[in-house]
């Protein structure tokens, strides 16, 4: 692809909720709708529909850069996430953190961490963090002020591994689902997620109006 060729922003949403079409997936859907309406090309992955296992901690990837397990997470970690311009991780809060489904995905990214920091096969320039964005969408039944706080370091680690710029402004959280009787009863959450998705695409388009060329991918 020529550097002067404009292409749509690619937006990948990953739902870590085991409950289909629940509060979290609806929040993610609105984010993706906003991104699509801004001209982004969107894709949604539902982790609960995939076949995969959690990280075994064998550290084989530290030597080879390749995970020994062959399952549905491999193309997500090696193709889907690296090729996206915007990655949105969505998870409800279970026991004060993200779900087991989402945590397993993040733990399996150890393979990519090894490529970056052990084997030095991949290097991200600062520009890469600017041109790629990470967003965290989460819902919680309770309204305690720290309900999302324990998830942020885990999410940050994932986005750092893939060279995605992620800041507190990229958190789209909706507490009080018990109080509001679900996401549809919340007065602002779905509208905010839609607006955030639209703005996420527009912000990247302003930064690089010609789109990201193939030559601008991380060096290997």
pLDDT greater than 60 at residue 212: no
**Do residues 119 and 60 make contact, with C-beta atoms less than 8 angstroms apart?**
no
Task: Share the mean pLDDT of the chain.
Answer: 92
Cα(40)–Cα(196) distance, rounded to whole angstroms?
13
**Do residues 97 and 151 make contact, with C-beta atoms less than 8 angstroms apart?**
yes
Contacts of 85 (CB under 8 A, 6+ apart): 9, 10, 11, 131, 132, 133, 204, 212
- pLDDT above 70 coverage of the chain, percent: 92
State residue 5's pLDDT score.
61
Q: What is the pLDDT of residues 129-144, one digit of tens each?
A: 999 999 999 999 999 9
Whether this prediction's pTM lies above 0.85 is answered by yes
Work out whether strand 86-92 and strand 41-46 pair parallel, antiparallel, or are unpaired. unpaired
**Do residues 8 and 41 make contact, with C-beta atoms less than 8 angstroms apart?**
yes
Q: How confident is the model at residue 207 (pLDDT cuts 50, 70, 90)?
A: confident
Task: Show the tokens assigned to 139.
Answer: 């819902």
State residue 7's pLDDT score.
85
15-43 mean pLDDT: 97
State residue 148's pLDDT score.
98
Question: Which 3 state secondary structure label does DSSP give 219?
Answer: strand
Instruction: Please report the domains of the chain, with CATH numbers, ordered by start residue.
Output: 10-214 (3.40.50.360)
When mean pLDDT is compared across 86-90, 119-123, 139-143, 193-197, the lowest value belongs to 119-123
Query: Containing H/E element for 107?
Result: helix 100-108
């Amino acid at each position: 692809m020529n550097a002067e060729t404009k292409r749509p922003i690619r937006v990948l949403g990953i739902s870590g909720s085991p409950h289909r079409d629940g509060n979290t997936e609806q929040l993610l859907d609105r984010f993706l709708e906003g991104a699509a309406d801004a001209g982004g090309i969107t894709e949604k992955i539902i982790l609960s529909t995939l076949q995969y296992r959690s990280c075994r901690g064998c550290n084989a990837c530290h030597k080879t850069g390749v995970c020994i397990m062959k399952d549905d997470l491999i193309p997500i970690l090696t193709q889907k996430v690296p090729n996206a311009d915007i990655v949105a991780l969505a998870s409800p809060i279970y026991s004060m953190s993200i779900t087991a489904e989402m945590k397993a995905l993040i733990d399996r990214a150890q393979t990519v961490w090894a490529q970056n920091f052990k084997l030095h096969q991949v290097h991200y320039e600062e520009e890469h963090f600017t041109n790629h964005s990470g967003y965290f969408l989460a819902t919680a039944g309770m309204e305690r002020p720290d309900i999302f706080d324990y998830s942020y370091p885990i999410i940050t680690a994932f986005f750092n591994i893939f060279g995605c710029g992620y800041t507190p402004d990229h958190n789209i959280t909706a507490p009080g689902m018990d109080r509001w009787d679900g996401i549809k009863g919340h007065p602002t959450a779905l509208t905010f997620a839609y607006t955030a998705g639209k703005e996420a695409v527009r912000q990247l388009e302003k930064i690089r109006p010609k789109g990201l060329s193939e030559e601008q991918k991380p060096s290997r």
